[in-house]
Protein backbone atom coordinates (compact mmCIF):
# COMPACT_ATOMS: atom_id res chain seq x y z
CA UNK A 1 0.00 0.00 0.00
CA UNK A 2 1.45 3.33 -1.06
CA UNK A 3 0.53 6.56 0.69
CA UNK A 4 0.65 10.09 -0.67
CA UNK A 5 0.26 13.37 1.21
CA UNK A 6 -1.68 15.82 -0.98
CA UNK A 7 -2.97 19.35 -0.67
CA UNK A 8 -6.73 19.52 -1.13
CA UNK A 9 -7.98 22.23 -3.46
CA UNK A 10 -11.31 23.29 -4.89
CA UNK A 11 -9.50 24.35 -8.08
CA UNK A 12 -8.15 20.94 -9.10
CA UNK A 13 -11.10 18.83 -7.92
CA UNK A 14 -9.17 17.12 -5.12
CA UNK A 15 -11.50 18.58 -2.45
CA UNK A 16 -14.58 17.29 -4.29
CA UNK A 17 -12.98 13.84 -4.68
CA UNK A 18 -12.09 13.83 -0.98
CA UNK A 19 -15.61 14.80 0.08
CA UNK A 20 -17.19 12.24 -2.28
CA UNK A 21 -14.94 9.52 -0.85
CA UNK A 22 -15.86 10.31 2.76
CA UNK A 23 -19.56 10.62 1.86
CA UNK A 24 -19.40 7.18 0.22
CA UNK A 25 -17.65 5.73 3.28
CA UNK A 26 -20.37 7.17 5.54
CA UNK A 27 -23.10 5.84 3.29
CA UNK A 28 -21.56 2.37 3.25
CA UNK A 29 -21.40 2.44 7.06
CA UNK A 30 -24.97 3.81 7.30
CA UNK A 31 -23.65 6.94 8.99
CA UNK A 32 -25.07 10.42 8.31
CA UNK A 33 -22.26 12.41 6.68
CA UNK A 34 -23.41 15.80 8.00
CA UNK A 35 -23.56 14.49 11.57
CA UNK A 36 -20.25 12.73 11.20
CA UNK A 37 -18.11 15.33 9.40
CA UNK A 38 -20.20 18.45 8.84
CA UNK A 39 -18.57 20.58 11.55
CA UNK A 40 -15.06 19.43 10.64
CA UNK A 41 -15.63 20.21 6.98
CA UNK A 42 -17.10 23.64 7.74
CA UNK A 43 -14.02 24.44 9.85
CA UNK A 44 -11.64 23.84 6.93
CA UNK A 45 -13.74 24.46 3.82
CA UNK A 46 -12.89 28.18 3.55
CA UNK A 47 -9.18 27.35 3.64
CA UNK A 48 -9.68 24.87 0.80
CA UNK A 49 -11.80 27.18 -1.33
CA UNK A 50 -9.48 30.18 -1.00
CA UNK A 51 -5.85 29.72 -1.86
CA UNK A 52 -3.75 30.69 1.14
CA UNK A 53 0.00 30.87 0.72
CA UNK A 54 0.77 29.60 4.21
CA UNK A 55 -2.34 27.60 5.12
CA UNK A 56 -3.93 24.56 3.57
CA UNK A 57 -5.84 21.36 4.09
CA UNK A 58 -4.01 18.15 3.32
CA UNK A 59 -5.04 14.52 3.05
CA UNK A 60 -3.16 11.29 3.34
CA UNK A 61 -4.31 8.97 0.58
CA UNK A 62 -3.67 5.28 0.23
CA UNK A 63 -4.15 3.47 -3.06
CA UNK A 64 -7.93 3.59 -2.83
CA UNK A 65 -9.14 6.22 -0.39
CA UNK A 66 -8.48 9.30 1.70
CA UNK A 67 -7.33 8.02 5.09
CA UNK A 68 -6.90 11.20 7.13
CA UNK A 69 -7.11 14.95 6.67
CA UNK A 70 -5.53 17.82 8.55
CA UNK A 71 -5.21 21.59 8.46
CA UNK A 72 -1.67 22.94 8.18
CA UNK A 73 -0.48 26.52 8.56
CA UNK A 74 2.93 28.15 8.72
CA UNK A 75 3.13 31.31 10.80
CA UNK A 76 5.27 33.14 13.34
CA UNK A 77 4.49 32.08 16.91
CA UNK A 78 5.86 33.67 20.09
CA UNK A 79 8.91 31.93 21.61
CA UNK A 80 10.12 30.67 18.21
CA UNK A 81 12.70 32.07 15.83
CA UNK A 82 11.17 31.79 12.38
CA UNK A 83 7.81 30.38 11.33
CA UNK A 84 6.21 27.30 12.90
CA UNK A 85 4.42 24.65 10.84
CA UNK A 86 1.30 23.71 12.83
CA UNK A 87 -0.88 20.73 12.05
CA UNK A 88 -4.37 20.66 13.56
CA UNK A 89 -7.82 19.19 12.97
CA UNK A 90 -6.36 15.74 12.32
CA UNK A 91 -9.41 13.70 11.37
CA UNK A 92 -9.43 10.08 10.30
CA UNK A 93 -11.80 8.80 7.63
CA UNK A 94 -15.08 7.10 8.53
CA UNK A 95 -13.55 3.71 7.62
CA UNK A 96 -10.73 4.20 10.12
CA UNK A 97 -12.82 5.95 12.76
CA UNK A 98 -15.97 3.82 12.78
CA UNK A 99 -14.72 0.28 12.14
CA UNK A 100 -12.09 -2.08 13.51
CA UNK A 101 -11.04 -3.11 10.00
CA UNK A 102 -8.16 -0.62 9.83
CA UNK A 103 -6.89 -0.68 13.43
CA UNK A 104 -3.76 -2.50 12.30
CA UNK A 105 -2.99 0.40 9.90
CA UNK A 106 -3.72 3.30 12.29
CA UNK A 107 -0.15 3.63 13.59
CA UNK A 108 1.27 3.46 10.09
CA UNK A 109 -1.14 6.18 8.95
CA UNK A 110 0.01 8.41 11.85
CA UNK A 111 3.65 7.87 10.87
CA UNK A 112 2.89 8.58 7.20
CA UNK A 113 1.05 11.76 8.22
CA UNK A 114 4.01 12.85 10.34
CA UNK A 115 6.43 12.18 7.47
CA UNK A 116 4.17 14.11 5.07
CA UNK A 117 4.19 17.12 7.39
CA UNK A 118 7.97 16.85 7.94
CA UNK A 119 8.56 16.75 4.18
CA UNK A 120 6.30 19.78 3.79
CA UNK A 121 8.37 21.65 6.39
CA UNK A 122 11.63 20.70 4.66
CA UNK A 123 10.36 21.39 1.13
CA UNK A 124 11.87 24.85 0.79
CA UNK A 125 8.42 26.11 -0.28
CA UNK A 126 5.75 28.21 1.37
CA UNK A 127 5.43 25.78 4.30
CA UNK A 128 9.16 25.61 5.00
CA UNK A 129 9.96 25.70 8.69
CA UNK A 130 12.51 24.46 11.21
CA UNK A 131 9.77 24.06 13.80
CA UNK A 132 6.78 21.74 13.71
CA UNK A 133 3.84 21.41 16.09
CA UNK A 134 1.38 18.58 15.57
CA UNK A 135 -1.86 18.54 17.58
CA UNK A 136 -2.72 15.00 18.55
CA UNK A 137 -6.21 13.56 18.55
CA UNK A 138 -6.24 11.44 21.66
CA UNK A 139 -4.21 10.33 24.67
CA UNK A 140 -3.44 7.14 22.72
CA UNK A 141 -1.86 9.24 19.96
CA UNK A 142 0.19 11.01 22.63
CA UNK A 143 1.49 7.62 23.82
CA UNK A 144 2.41 6.71 20.27
CA UNK A 145 4.24 9.98 19.66
CA UNK A 146 6.03 9.68 23.01
CA UNK A 147 7.57 6.53 21.50
CA UNK A 148 8.42 8.53 18.36
CA UNK A 149 10.01 11.16 20.61
CA UNK A 150 12.19 8.55 22.37
CA UNK A 151 13.42 7.26 19.01
CA UNK A 152 14.07 10.64 17.39
CA UNK A 153 15.65 12.45 20.36
CA UNK A 154 19.32 12.81 19.64
CA UNK A 155 18.84 12.12 15.93
CA UNK A 156 21.21 14.17 13.80
CA UNK A 157 18.32 15.92 12.04
CA UNK A 158 16.57 17.27 15.16
CA UNK A 159 17.53 19.85 17.75
CA UNK A 160 14.58 18.85 19.93
CA UNK A 161 11.62 16.46 19.91
CA UNK A 162 9.09 16.37 22.74
CA UNK A 163 5.47 15.63 23.51
CA UNK A 164 3.65 18.01 25.86
CA UNK A 165 -0.04 17.60 26.51
CA UNK A 166 -1.69 16.85 23.19
CA UNK A 167 1.09 18.39 21.06
CA UNK A 168 4.19 16.94 19.45
CA UNK A 169 6.94 19.59 19.15
CA UNK A 170 9.87 19.12 16.79
CA UNK A 171 12.68 21.49 15.84
CA UNK A 172 15.19 20.64 13.16
CA UNK A 173 18.84 21.68 13.42
Residue 171, number of CB atoms within 10 A of its CB: 18
Q: How far is CA 163 from the centre of its chain?
A: 16
Per-residue model confidence (pLDDT) at position 52: 76
Per-residue model confidence (pLDDT) at position 71: 96
The structure's pTM equals 0.92
Residue spans of the domains in the chain: they are 4-172
Whether residue 22 contacts residue 28, with contact meaning beta carbons closer than 8 Å, is answered with no
Q: Read out DSSP for 75-111?
A: EE-TT-SSEEEEEEEEEE-HHHHH-STTHHHHHHHHH
Whole-number Å distance between alpha carbons of 64 and 4? 11
Sequence-ordered list of residues with C-beta below 8 angstroms from that of 140, at least 6 positions apart, any chain? none
Sequence-ordered list of residues with C-beta below 8 angstroms from that of 117, at least 6 positions apart, any chain? 5, 58, 70, 72, 85, 87, 132, 134
Per-residue model confidence (pLDDT) at position 26: 97
Does CATH number 3.55.40 belong to domain 4-172? no
Mean pLDDT by 10 residues, the chain (173 residues): 93 96 97 93 89 90 94 94 95 94 89 95 92 89 84 86 90 92
What does DSSP say about strands 131-135 and 158-164: parallel, antiparallel, or unpaired? unpaired
Per-residue model confidence (pLDDT) at position 141: 83
Whole-number Å distance between alpha carbons of 108 and 2? 11
Q: For 35-77, how does the pLDDT look when each residue is reduced to its tens digit (9 = 90+)? A: 999 988 988 988 998 877 799 999 999 988 999 999 999 999 9
CA-CA-CA-CA torsion sign (75, 76, 77, 83) = positive
Per-residue model confidence (pLDDT) at position 50: 82
Length of the chain: 173
Amino acid sequence: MAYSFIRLSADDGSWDAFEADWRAQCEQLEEDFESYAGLTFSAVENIVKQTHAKAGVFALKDDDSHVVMCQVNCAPIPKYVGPVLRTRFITFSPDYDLTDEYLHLYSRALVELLFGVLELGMSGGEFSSRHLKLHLQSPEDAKFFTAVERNLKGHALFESVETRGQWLYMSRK
